[in-house]
Structure 1
Amino acid sequence: MTAEMSTKPKIVGLYGVPASGKSFLLERLKSKLRGEHFRFFEGSEAIASVHRALGIVSGHFSFWPEKEPHPDNLYTPADLNVYTHIIYLDTPAGDVARRCLKDQDRGRLPVSTAHISVWKDYEKTNLRRLCREHGIVVTAVYPTNTLLYDVLPLMHDIRLHSEAKNLARVTQHLDQTLAMVSGDTDLETLLVFDADTTLCDVDTVNLFWEKSYAHIDRECPLSTLSSSSMGYSYTSFRQDAFLYEEDWSDVERVCGEVASQVTVHPEFVALLRVMEETKHVGAVVVACGIRQVWEKVIQREGLSEIVGVLGGERIADGYVVTPEAKAAIVSRAKGHHGLHVCAFGDSPTDLPMLKLANDAVVVVGMEHLRSKSMDTALLTAIDADGFRARQALVPSTASPRLTVDKLPLVDITHQNFIQSIFSRRRKLRVIHATDKNTAKLLMTPTRDAAVAGPDLRRAHHRVGFYLATEYVSEVLGLEKNDIRHVQGHMVDRHQLKDESTTAIVALMRGGEPMAFGVSEAFPRATFIHSQFPDDLEEKLCVITTVFLVDSVINSGISVKEYVDYLRDLDADIRIVVVAGVVQKKAITGILDRLAGDADLSLVALRLSDNEFSGKGATDTGNRLFNTVHSY
């Protein structure tokens, strides 16, 4: 339904039993919502003409004469396909009965208050069911003296809100929250926590509903919606927000009661306490439920100065926290703010953010409390998507998910984990010549479609030699020893630092010509051809520095496989990635995640925004070796 809602016109249906005030409200809305952004209709016949405006239609769900045992449904399948939102006027039955008595000249028959109550219950129950099934957001409003001014904000919000705007507002609130928790300190690491059933065992949404909204529906709206066709979609969370708008009375008291029943796991409290003395690490709690509850919980723990809370369950908040919103928070923290992100979550709705985090921790609670669908979702993510994470048992007596081979254990209270999170981070060192005239000259033949075979290999060789002498030597430094000058006396001889224990790895086949250029600059280094990382195992026994050389780095996945393999062999090995062209997306994504505590540098002739990957005649390897005809 998400994709459909993003493209079809937004149509709001005003529903309610006869004499509930639909026509009166429609006329008052017309007087306030003038201009090209709103269109008004009596009945649904002409609403197909709505384009780039919010259509507002008064409609009838059913007709039920008091003498009849069952109502006649007036809605049609076409109505359910057209409406995106429905506002139900839940006018008191007594008011409706009095209006029917006064309006007999309009053909309205007197109706008892008891019958109107039953009729309204029928309409509300079935409207909610049908709207869930068809992805329509529905809410009830209660006519008061301020009805018009209660409905106007809803209309403006419906017209302006979208999934794209939702993500933009979420990231805007993240920016504001980071400014608050960081103060004047430059953050390096951000801890991102899912709230309910991750930081605690309680589902605060269920608890809030039980305490505050049982008179509307005894089932938590989030669980009702998630089990419908809406699932955990943007529309589902927006529906949840509209349900909360139906009765927001006494919210401070209810939020306080809910917060008082939330106990944050002591393991997380201890972890967050470390932040009080560590200014370069920040934390945010991302709540799909009501933000005020978690603000009170964090405040009670004495952490409100250092832990921010993101959550939006009210229309006035401007956003809702969807799985995609959680992912956007992690992406924004990494890409825009340059932070190393460690994310904690426990359910499938957390997987989008966990996948994007530099470090992902799946929080595993007691078996009767944990998500039933998480095992399957984790297996798919690990086996199909290459997702890598660790699992933390909270409490420690909980049984692991999957196997510890698939999802290794981590103790978040252990000093090793705490140190890995709170130690100062090394940034990926990126050195490139993109804007230099030398680079422009060197890259020209590599981009010329007419250049291939030996000429292109020579061009790549020159690039490798240039990058090695101009940049790699600066990254690693030089060492000197004595050589005899042509005039007979001794002078300093310079070579790459630890050159004799350096390996140049040509990632086959596109990296070979450039690697030969690097080898010419550093002739004492070992030269290795490699198609797969495990080619290297027996060749690096005395090696302290490795150059991974490739012509083009697109996603960075191949480089990641090599870096991970090398670090498994020797965690302290220095790694320098040398390439002709590197996509910027790889730098802010996979390659940046590889930096962390290890020694990793990237040297490139050029950085590129063009995400084109060559195939056939445009593949660099085919051009280098004249194998275009084979494709």
Structure 2
Amino acid sequence: MMLTNGKDASSNMLDPTADSQLNQPIALKRRSASDNGAVIVGIYGVPGCGKTFLLDQLKQELEQEYFAFYEGSTMIATVVPGGLDTFQKLEEEEKVHWRKIAIDTIGKECADSGRVAVVAGHFMFWPEEEEAGRPVYTQNDLDTFTHILYLDLPAEVVARRRLNDTERSRPSASAAHLRKWQQAEKTELRRLCLHNSILFSSISQHPALQNKVLTLLRDFQHHTEEYNLSRAEIRLDETLVAGQGQLETVLVMDADRTLAAEDTGALFWKTASSSRQPGDEDYPLKTLFSSPLGYSYTAFRQATLLYEETADDQEYDALCQEVASMVTMHPEFVSLLQVVAEREHVGAVIITCGLRRVWDKVLEREGLSKTVKVIGGGRIADGFIVTAAVKAALVARLQDIHQMYVWAFGDGPLDLEMLDKADQAIVVVGEEQTRSKAMDAALRNAIDNDGLRAYQAVLPSSASPRLDTTKLPLIRITEHGFVNSVLCRRSRHAGIHVLHATDRNAAKLLMTPTRDAKVAGPALRKAHRRVGVYLATEFLADMIGIEEYPIPHVQGHHTSGYRLSHEQRTSIVALMRGGEAVAYGVNDVFPLAMFVHASRPDDIKLHHLEGQSTLVLVDSVVNSGKTVVQFVQHVRNLHATIRIVVVAGVVQAQSVSEGSLAQVLAHHTNLSLVALRLSDNKFGGKGTTDTGNRLFNTTHLL
């Protein structure tokens, strides 16, 4: 590229080998986008395709607070002493140096400000009289850009625009030459992006081109691997709402080559290939997943962009309908899912790395769409993509947060993490000519080295098993015994999620000042605050999970820090008065969380819950649990799926084994309790023994 003086004159052409960094008086520390989290989007296309016009339109539509816009010539003029005139007189190697400085400056500015950079520039110049174009990019560009959008307008349109452009003088170029130029740029950009973890999308001429670009930029602005998982978790939680706490067992199923022998991705591209331009790949996903990106989050995000540029919404839906008509579900799975649909305590969900829309249509045809939901992607509008890690995380969420017993069904290497997490794992084995060739070795390694315990279901029954039936025992999913094992009732009471430190030495030390009659007022509040810090660090971090983020190291470089997963989307509610000190301790560990005081349930408002993933209700002592139940019921009326964790210093043991609190814990999904200790003492404090009075020196107010 990429950053030039904006004029396609021969003096700006650059041999791609002229990429060495010179010893210049100005130098910026290299900061790649992957290191600092900055989102840097390049907008490319042959001169005359409308990059500058589009950039001006985007400036009018996007908030300057969140987006920064750069034109190549303007950036060059800014960083080069003497501006463009001086730049034009430099040797080519010197120009390369300043192009690097320009892109590094953009990267640093946006890393510091947190804004998304939108940069219009050139990838190569190619006068028609020359045999090949000359690229104008540096390794710094490839290290900095996170996304590239290519304006792929018809060559005839571009040629006409160039002729009619009175503001710029450009060398003449025929439509045939411009078309060749465009193809060369797209081919090389796709290759470079795959090898440098840059997301690439070609944008064709369309009446809604500007809206398309706006949609993509807004998606690029916030879509990270962390955000992606949170969207998938929300989708999972929504699919469970209909169960109203009755579900005990969930069947989690992969789709392609598991529920059916077909690979819907391959069918989609085969179906779409008839309408694609000559020279386009018929199966671009094969190239994508065999690239250095592998089956990463970035690779699946790139797959989504490929689907986006292949068809608009209407065409995409029609293609999915055509693909769905080619898919035949294994009758054994249709039968099993029909039986599951008749049971209130058993549910099923498809979690697929493939196309959600295709499987929605397949399930609709089979009459299963009301009882079996699909978690998957394929389009930007879906909000997320599914990777192997997402599959495993959703299974873990079903178990840890929703306290479900999980049966998992999958066929390939991308399902192994999910299968390993599940309570029961079934490897679906198809015909040898269609099943995954890489699965045998990966499966053997998972069993021998990672401790996977699984069964195999061979579909059709005439297919040969994988490995051997001792290492991977055979089951038939229509067999009476197997179906009964799936449908059996499982004790929800046994699944109550209560964590406590009663017998730990740390708890004994922490609880001593809280029980000492001589300790009151600030000293007692400090002791309760330490309890909150301990429970947050020891239990909540494990229960909710942590996430990695970059922090400056004391030695001057960046390193990894850790915080609560979705900490900024966590609300800590102090149940007044007694819970405030413990809640402050929790907040000390999770400083990004929202803090709310609540004397009664209706002090918690909808705006305290909207957009949040976790609510932490904090009290000092829980006796009967009546107050906690009232708060939980109020929150559930406002938000049906938010994770609720009750945190307390002392919990009366009987309250979590019988009574209203035990019932709420057993029958509400996404609800857990954490305590410093469980106590058999049913004594309720009053006056001088009331915890709230002791905390605030009001024991004399009887």
Q: Same fold (TM over 0.5)?
A: yes
1:194, CA displacement in angstroms?
0.3
Q: Does 1:115 align with 2:186?
A: no
Maintained 8 Å contact 2:33/2:40: no
- Once the 2 structures are TM-superposed, how far is the Cα of residue 252 of structure 1 from its aligned partner? 2.8
Distance 1:373 1:113, change over 3 A: same
Contact 1:241 1:313 survives alignment (8 Å): yes
Q: 1:352 aligns with which of 392, 414, 417?
A: 417
For 2:43, what is the secondary structure of its paired residue?
A: strand
Task: Indicate yes or no: 2:132 matched with 1:75.
Answer: no
CA distance 1:104–1:313, change in 2 (3 Å) = same
Q: Which amino acid aligns with 1:47?
A: I
Partner of 2:48: 19
Corresponding residue number in structure 2 for 1:468: none
**Hey, what does 1:102 align to over in structure 2?**
164
Contact kept, 8 Å, 1:133 with 1:230, in 2: the verdict is: yes
Aligned to 2:83: none
Q: Tell me if structure 1 keeps the 8 A contact 2:351–2:386.
A: yes
Q: After superposition, what is the alpha-carbon deviation per residue over 1:97-138, rounded to whole angstroms, capped at 9, x for unaligned?
A: 112212376231121111111111111111111111111110
Are 2:426 and 2:457, in contact at CA under 8 Å, matched by a contact in 1? yes
Distance in 2, matches of 1:413 and 1:374, equals 24
User: How much does 1:4 deviate?
Assistant: 7.0
Q: Secondary structure at the match of 2:247?
A: coil
Q: CA RMSD in A?
A: 2.7
Counterpart residue type for residue 73 of structure 1: P
TM superposition shift of 1:407: 1.4
Q: Given the superposition, is the C-alpha separation of residues 99 and 279 from structure 1 closer, same or farther in structure 2, using an over 3 Å criterion?
A: same
Q: 1:206 — aligned with what?
A: 266
Report the residue type matching 1:83 in the other structure: F
More off after superposition, 216-225 vs 160-169: 216-225
Decide whether aligned partners of structure 1 residues 15 and 390 sit closer, same or farther in structure 2, where only a CA change above 3 A counts. same
Distance 2:130 2:59 in 1: 36
Matched, 1:369 2:434: yes
Q: Distance in 2 between matches of 1:188 and 1:32?
A: 48
SS of residue matched to 1:68 = coil
Aligned amino acid, residue 55 of structure 1:
A
- Structure 1 residues 395 and 147: alpha-carbon distance in aligned structure 2, compared to 1, 3 A threshold: same
Do residues 218 (structure 1) and 247 (structure 2) align? Answer: no
Q: Is the 8 A contact 2:500 2:676 kept in 1?
A: no
What is the aligned counterpart of 1:293 among 346, 354, 358?
358
What amino acid is aligned across from residue 363 of structure 2 in structure 1?
A: I
Give the CA deviation at 1:329: 1.6
> Per the alignment, do residues 234 and 340 of structure 1 end up closer, same or farther by CA in structure 2, a change over 3 Å counting?
same
Conserved 8 A contact 2:33-2:146: no
Q: 1:389 to 1:21 in 2, by over 3 A?
A: same
For the residue of structure 1 that corresponds to 2:431, the secondary structure is coil
Change (3 A) 1:445 1:93: closer
**CA separation of 1:105 and 1:174: change in aligned 2, threshold 3 A:** closer
CA–CA distance in 2 between the matches of 1:307 and 1:79?
Answer: 46
Residues 152 and 430 (structure 1 numbering): CA distance in 2 closer, same or farther, change over 3 Å?
A: closer
Asked if 1:48 is matched to 2:104, the reply is no
Structure-1 residue corresponding to 2:483:
418
Partners of 1:193 and 1:114 lie apart in 2 by: 50
Shift of 1:202: 0.8
Question: Shift of residue 85 of structure 1?
Answer: 0.4
CA distance in structure 1 between the partners assigned to 2:457 and 2:140 by the alignment: 50
**Secondary structure of the corresponding residue to residue 253 of structure 2:** strand
Equivalent residue number for residue 68 of structure 2: 39
1:612-627 mapped onto 2 (5 Å cutoff): none
Does the alignment pair 1:28 with 2:57? yes
Task: Give identity over the alignment, percent.
Answer: 49
Contact persistence 1:210–1:218 (CA under 8 A): no
- 8 Å CA contact 1:286, 1:309 repeated in 2: yes
- Indicate conservation of the 8 Å contact 1:6/1:162, yes or no: no
Distance 1:137 1:432, change over 3 A: closer
The partner residue of 1:194 within 240, 248, 254 is 254
Name the counterpart of 1:331. Answer: 396
The answer to whether the Cα contact below 8 Å between 2:193 and 2:199 also exists between their aligned partners in 1 is yes
Contact 2:248 2:403 in 1 (8 A): yes
1:88 and 1:141 in contact (8 A); partners too: yes
Corresponding residue for 2:95? none
Q: How far does residue 316 in structure 1 lie from its aligned partner after superposition?
A: 1.0
One-letter amino acid matched to 1:444:
K
- Letter of the 2:256 counterpart: D
**Among 281, 288, 299, the residue aligned to 1:236:** 299
Confirm whether residue 309 of structure 1 aligns to residue 374 of structure 2.
yes
Q: 1:426 to 1:227 in 2, by over 3 A?
A: same
Aligned counterparts of 1:432 and 1:59: Cα–Cα separation in 2: 55
CA offsets, 1:338-390, max 9 Å, x none? 11000000011111111111101011111111111111111221122111111
Question: What stretches of structure 1 of length at least 5 have no aligned partner?
Answer: 449-603, 608-631
Shift in alpha-carbon separation, 1:391–1:7, aligned structure 2, 3 A: farther
For 1:222-621, list aligned pairs within 5 A.
222-246=285-309, 247-248=311-312, 249-427=314-492, 429=494, 444=508
> Amino acid of the residue matched to residue 48 of structure 1?
G
- State the alpha-carbon separation in 1 of the partners of residues 500 and 38 from structure 2: 47
* Residue-by-residue CA offset, 1:410-448 (whole Å, 9 max, x unaligned): 111111111111111135737999879x96999738999
Question: 1:105 and 1:171 mapped to 2: Cα distance?
Answer: 52
Q: Shift of residue 605 of structure 1? A: 11
Counterpart CA distance in 2 for 1:243 and 1:19 is 25
Equivalent residue in structure 1 for 2:233, among 127, 147, 171: 171
Distance 2:484 2:465 in 1: 23
Assess, with a 3 A threshold, how the Cα gap between structure 1 residues 155 and 383 changes in structure 2: closer, same or farther. same
Instruction: Point out the structure with max Rg over C-alpha.
Output: 1
Q: For 2:497 and 2:479, how far apart are their aligned partners in 1?
A: 39
What is the number of residues matched between the two proteins? 447
1:133 has 2:162 as partner: no
- TM-score of the superposition, structure 1-length normalised? 0.67
- SS of the counterpart of 2:474? coil
Which runs of 5 or more structure 2 residues have no equivalent in the other structure? 1-31, 73-101, 513-674, 679-702
Counterpart AA for 1:92: P
Q: Cα distance 1:295–1:435, how it changes in 2: closer, same or farther (>3 A)?
A: closer
The answer to whether the 8 A contact 1:362-1:392 is kept is yes
Q: CA deviation at 1:11?
A: 0.7
Secondary structure, counterpart of 1:311 in structure 2: strand
Aligned to 1:564: none
* Residue 127 of structure 2: aligned partner: 65
Q: Distance in 2 between matches of 1:9 and 1:340?
A: 40
Q: Residue by residue, what CA displacement relative to the aligned partner does 1:181-235 show, whole Å, maximum 9, x if unpaired?
A: x3x5601100011001111111111111221255153333332211001111110
User: What's the offset of the Cα at 1:35?
Assistant: 2.6
Classify 1:417/1:17 alpha carbon distance in 2 versus 1 (closer, same or farther; 3 Å): same
The CA distance in 2 between the partners of 1:189 and 1:387, in whole Å, is 20
Contact 2:430 / 2:460 at 8 angstroms: preserved in 1? yes
